[in-house]
Chain A
């Protein structure tokens, strides 16, 4: 199984801040990573696929980069509605599809 190590597990930030989350894969997953946002009581929302491609309707302040085993997800200029938990997920290999442990972005 491919392990996805996501960090940090939580962070505190203010509106307007730049936030960066990283995911490290246990083996080469090329560009095959998704990033999700999940708010309490809601299903996850897919933000990015193929490491850097924004889903339709996702604001441009969200971005992703990386390939191989190291990936980065960035929010450039936090909005109040961005406080949520974010997950990475690889789809290079299944079974299983695997997720990172999540990063909770909280208000400072």
Chain B
């Protein structure tokens, strides 16, 4: 079965960096785009970024563009989110999500990780 396991969260000071990882298993990782979605404590869901299966195409929300590059390693079935210049408003649970893989555009699928908490605070 599909498994997505995020890691790398923690407490970090404003302006610092953190890299999140998502280890995938149970499916043909190199065939699927991958997303990051976040949820601030007690708040709603916010899509963050997507990377195509071949890492050629990457798209970002306006709130993270230029700060949170997404990348992937298809040889190790892992997707990353490098979080730079962190702000208190980036505090959230970050979920790794498998794309639905229908091939006709990007969409969130039915496989989500358990999430990793990032807290930005001095």
Main secondary structure of the interface of B (DSSP, over half): strand
Give residues of chain B (1-53) contacting chain A, Cβ–Cβ below 8 Å. 35, 44-47, 50
Please, which residues of chain A bring their CB within 8 A of the CB of B47? 89, 94-99
Q: How many A-B residue pairs have CB under 8 A?
A: 63
Among the listed A36, A49, A99, which residue makes an inter-chain contact with B46, where contact means beta carbons less than 8 Å apart? Answer: A99
Q: Interface of A with B (CB < 8 Å)?
A: 1, 32, 34, 36, 38, 43-46, 49, 55, 87, 89, 91, 94-102
Listed by A's residue number, 19 A-B pairs whose Cβ atoms lie within 8 Å are A34-B108, A46-B108, A46-B110, A55-B110, A87-B44, A87-B45, A89-B45, A89-B47, A91-B107, A91-B108, A94-B47, A95-B47, A95-B50, A95-B62, A96-B62, A97-B50, A97-B107, A99-B46, A102-B44
